[in-house]
């Protein structure tokens, strides 16, 4: 949950100003008002340089949202608790579309400026480095989905009877303002108000449900463990919900569109069993809730591992993808990429989790899954750890070849050490962020040797390796 890239520069500037003031006759008080500097407007992600914002670290989002499916209008209040990483004269939030009403910082009105997807807030008083501050933004409007570089649509997506929100990689800024880079994780509380007769589901545990005199229903969802904003979700509609318990104490809540509920019930019932198996392989389940949402086809362009409660379009809901999205709870959700360039750490592991599941329950050894993937005519032009552009982030090199890296690692270090890595990696970076370099140095430490040959060919090498 931390960013201090711009801090050194800000501190240097502050020191220079103070020195100037002293030279000018010691009138530091006159200049103390300009000590702070604006937080950066982006975190220079390799693919999305303006995504996220510098100068602060969000600790908690409290989102209060009312949605009217008839008009598509969303009314929101975001209360964002953050810690300043520098003396701040102003800071940014990412927000796409929508109309901002009022903004305040620590209860005092703040000036708001809008340029593209950057919302700049200038508090009345500067925020001191290290201070925790609370920003409140009210907003409203009909959210507009974003179209990704690869052509998929995401964000707040309207359905016949409601909406479903998914955000990988940049869609969450269409429904709430925030620090939308995966490196700034935070706890969430999401309060949803919808018309009578509809369900509203989000991440984590439902802690309250009340009906207003006008019939509208409000539910409160708490997701206290750190979450990257692309993993926040909301599903509103005539869902059928069901509950169960996993791992002895983890509440499971599933929701399925009535048109597909009967067909998905048996697979949804397998969630506790799959989590149990994955816990044995990957270590303790990282969250205090679990579940899934199955939507009607035609809205979602992809299934997503939204935290604690992955979402699936009905037509792609099968055991393999369920295993994949549940594995992401460890790989991606608990251990989150430092930048979008590290996405293979999510997709390679989640794909390898499919191979492991097939090995155990389908009697297909992982080496067979590897051989099949190697024989396929996939895109081999770029390596898992370096997609050339945003439109390639979700291409086969990140998924299949990412899993191949792990299989080659298993062959190199043996099943025992590989098993240790499968548990140790998510333990070491639990609820944190990690980069590819973190991974290779962690693995080399566990293996007790240099693995450059492996990384050079499978992780960083362009083109198809000569031999499987
Ligand atoms: N992470 C999702 C999965 O588990 C896929 C998301 C694809 N997103 C996109 N914008 N194409 O496979
Ligand atoms: Zn995935």
Question: With helix as H, strand as E and coil as C, how does 249-312 read?
Answer: CEEEEEEECHHHHHHHHHHHCCHHHHHHHHHHHHCCCCCCCEEEEEECCCCCCCCECCCCCCEE
304 lines ligand 1 (CB under 6 A): yes
Query: How many angstroms is it from 444 CA to the middle of ligand 2?
Result: 25
Name which residue sits closest to atom 1 of ligand 1, judged by CA.
304
HSE-up (13 A, CA, CB side) for residue 198: 24
CA gap 416, 409 in Å, rounded: 12
Residue 24: predicted pLDDT = 39
Instruction: Based on the fold, state whether residues 197 and 87 are members of the same structural domain.
Output: yes
Query: Looking at the domain assignment, is residue 327 inside a domain?
Result: no
Residue 354 three-state SS = helix
Query: How many angstroms is it from 393 CA to the middle of ligand 1?
Result: 9
Atom number, ligand 1, closest to the C-alpha of residue 171: 10
Structure confidence by residue, pLDDT tens digits, 402-431: 999 999 999 999 999 999 999 999 999 999
Pocket test for ligand 1, best of 304, 320, 332, 390 (most atoms within 8 A of CB): 304
- 118-122: strand order across its sheet: 37-38, 88-94, 118-122, 111-115
Count of domains in the chain? 4
- The CATH number that applies at residue 150 is 2.60.40.1730
Query: How many angstroms is it from 327 CA to the middle of ligand 2?
Result: 9
Instruction: Based on the fold, state whether residues 116 and 178 are members of the same structural domain.
Output: yes
Query: Looking at the domain assignment, is residue 295 inside a domain?
Result: yes
C-alpha distance from residue 171 to each of 167, 168, 322 (Å): 4, 6, 22
Structural contact between residues 74 and 142, judged by C-beta atoms closer than 8 angstroms: yes
Helix (H) or strand (E) holding 337: strand 335-337
Pocket test for ligand 1, best of 51, 150, 168, 390 (most atoms within 8 A of CB): 168
Instruction: Based on the fold, state whether residues 48 and 77 are members of the same structural domain.
Output: yes
Atom number, ligand 1, closest to the C-alpha of residue 346: 1
Query: Looking at the domain assignment, is residue 234 inside a domain?
Result: no
Structural contact between residues 307 and 287, judged by C-beta atoms closer than 8 angstroms: yes
Instruction: Based on the fold, state whether residues 12 and 102 are members of the same structural domain.
Output: no
Residue 141 three-state SS = strand
Domain boundary (197, 229, 261) is at 229
Nearest 5°: the CA angle 436, 437, 443 is 90
Question: What DSSP state is assigned to residue 455?
Answer: I
C-alpha distance from residue 54 to each of 183, 192, 220 (Å): 11, 29, 30
Name which residue sits closest to atom 2 of ligand 1, judged by CA.
304
Give the domain extent around 245: 239-317
306 lines ligand 1 (CB under 6 A): no
Instruction: Based on the fold, state whether residues 101 and 74 are members of the same structural domain.
Output: yes
Structure confidence by residue, pLDDT tens digits, 239-298: 999 999 999 999 999 999 999 999 999 999 999 999 999 999 999 999 999 999 999 999
329 lines ligand 1 (CB under 6 A): no
Instruction: Based on the fold, state whether residues 59 and 10 are members of the same structural domain.
Output: no
Query: Looking at the domain assignment, is residue 286 inside a domain?
Result: yes
Domain boundary (229, 256, 290) is at 229
Omega before 178 cis (within 30°)?
Answer: no
Name which residue sits closest to atom 5 of ligand 1, judged by CA.
304
The pLDDT tens digits along the chain (468 residues) read 544 444 444 444 444 444 443 343 333 333 455 689 999 999 999 999 999 999 999 999 999 999 999 999 999 999 999 999 999 999 999 999 999 999 999 999 999 999 999 999 999 999 999 999 999 999 999 999 999 999 999 999 999 999 999 999 999 999 999 999 999 999 999 999 999 999 999 999 999 999 999 999 999 999 999 999 999 999 999 999 999 999 999 999 999 999 999 999 999 999 999 999 999 999 999 999 999 999 999 999 899 999 999 999 999 999 999 999 999 999 999 999 999 999 999 999 999 999 999 999 989 999 999 999 999 999 999 999 999 999 999 999 999 999 999 999 999 999 999 999 999 999 999 999 999 999 999 999 999 999 999 999 999 999 999 999
Query: How many angstroms is it from 152 CA to the middle of ligand 1?
Result: 9
Ligand in closest contact with the CA of 352: 2
Residue 34: predicted pLDDT = 61
Residue 7: predicted pLDDT = 43
148 lines ligand 1 (CB under 6 A): yes
Structural contact between residues 188 and 223, judged by C-beta atoms closer than 8 angstroms: yes
Domain boundary (258, 282, 317) is at 317
168 lines ligand 1 (CB under 6 A): yes
Question: What DSSP state is assigned to residue 154?
Answer: E
Residue 301: predicted pLDDT = 87
394 lines ligand 1 (CB under 6 A): yes
Atom number, ligand 1, closest to the C-alpha of residue 350: 4
Q: Which residue has the tokens 């750890």?
A: 385
Query: How many angstroms is it from 168 CA to the middle of ligand 1?
Result: 6
Pocket test for ligand 1, best of 48, 390, 394 (most atoms within 8 A of CB): 394
DSSP 18-48: HHHHHHTTS-HHHHHTT--EEPPS----SS-
Query: How many angstroms is it from 320 CA to the middle of ligand 2?
Result: 11
Nearest to 239 by CA among 188, 296, 282: 296
Atom number, ligand 1, closest to the C-alpha of residue 399: 12
CA gap 277, 271 in Å, rounded: 10
- The CATH number that applies at residue 366 is 1.10.390.10
Instruction: Based on the fold, state whether residues 305 and 198 are members of the same structural domain.
Output: no
Atom number, ligand 1, closest to the C-alpha of residue 332: 1
CA gap 453, 451 in Å, rounded: 6
Structural contact between residues 382 and 456, judged by C-beta atoms closer than 8 angstroms: no
Atom number, ligand 1, closest to the C-alpha of residue 304: 2
Query: Looking at the domain assignment, is residue 328 inside a domain?
Result: no
Ligand in closest contact with the CA of 312: 1
Residue 293: predicted pLDDT = 98
354 lines ligand 1 (CB under 6 A): no
CA gap 98, 65 in Å, rounded: 13
Atom number, ligand 1, closest to the C-alpha of residue 169: 10
Query: Looking at the domain assignment, is residue 322 inside a domain?
Result: no
- The CATH number that applies at residue 308 is 3.30.2010.30
Instruction: Based on the fold, state whether residues 206 and 80 are members of the same structural domain.
Output: yes
DSSP 86-98: S-EEEEEEE--SS
Nearest 5°: the CA angle 422, 59, 312 is 55
């Amino acid at each position: 949950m931390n960013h201090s890239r711009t801090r050194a520069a800000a501190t240097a500037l502050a020191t220079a100003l103070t020195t100037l003031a002293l030279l000018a006759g010691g009138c530091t008080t006159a200049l103390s008002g300009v000590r702070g500097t604006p937080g950066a407007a982006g975190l220079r992600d390799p693919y999305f340089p303006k995504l996220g914002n510098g100068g602060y670290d969000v600790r908690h989002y409290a989102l209060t949202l009312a949605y009217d499916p008839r008009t598509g209008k969303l009314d929101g209040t975001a209360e964002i608790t953050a810690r300043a990483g520098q003396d701040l004269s102003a800071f940014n939030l990412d927000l796409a579309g929508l109309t901002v009403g009022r903004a305040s910082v620590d209860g005092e009105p703040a000036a708001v400026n809008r340029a593209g997807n950057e919302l700049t807030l200038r508090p009345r008083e500067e925020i001191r480095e290290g201070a925790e501050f609370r920003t409140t933004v009210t907003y409203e409007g009909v959210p507009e989905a974003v179209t990704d570089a690869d052509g998929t649509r995401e964000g707040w997506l309207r359905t016949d009877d409601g909406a479903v929100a998914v955000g990988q990689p940049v869609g969450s800024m269409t429904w709430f303002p925030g620090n939308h880079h995966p490196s700034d994780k935070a706890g969430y509380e999401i309060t949803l108000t919808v018309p009578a007769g509809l369900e509203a589901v989000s991440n984590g545990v439902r802690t309250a449900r009340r009906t207003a005199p006008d019939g509208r229903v409000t539910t409160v969802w708490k997701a206290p463990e750190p979450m990257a904003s692309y993993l926040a979700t909301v599903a509103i509609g005539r869902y059928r919900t069901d509950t169960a318990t996993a791992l002895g104490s983890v509440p499971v809540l599933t929701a399925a569109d009535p048109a597909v509920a009967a067909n998905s019930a048996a697979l949804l019932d397998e969630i506790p069993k799959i989590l149990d198996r994955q816990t044995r392989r990957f270590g303790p389940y990282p969250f205090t809730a679990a579940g899934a949402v199955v939507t009607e086809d035609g809205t979602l362009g992809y299934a997503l591992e939204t935290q604690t409660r992955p979402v699936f379009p009905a037509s792609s809901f099968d055991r393999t993808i369920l295993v994949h999205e549940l594995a992401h709870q460890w790989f991606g959700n608990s251990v989150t990429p430092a930048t979008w360039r590290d996405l293979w750490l999510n997709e390679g592991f989640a794909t390898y989790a499919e191979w492991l599941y097939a090995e155990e329950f389908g009697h297909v050894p992982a080496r067979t899954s590897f051989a099949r993937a190697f024989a396929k005519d996939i895109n081999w032009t770029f390596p898992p750890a370096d997609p050339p552009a945003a439109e390639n982030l979700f291409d086969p090199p990140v998924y299949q070849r990412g899993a191949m890296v792990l299989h080659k690692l298993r062959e190199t270090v043996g099943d025992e050490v590989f098993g240790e890595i499968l548990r140790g990696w998510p333990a070491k970076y639990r609820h944190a962020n990690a980069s590819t370099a973190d991974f290779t140095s962690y693995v080399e430490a566990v293996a007790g040797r240099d693995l450059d040959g492996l990384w050079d060919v499978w992780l960083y090498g362009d083109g198809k390796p000569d031999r499987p």
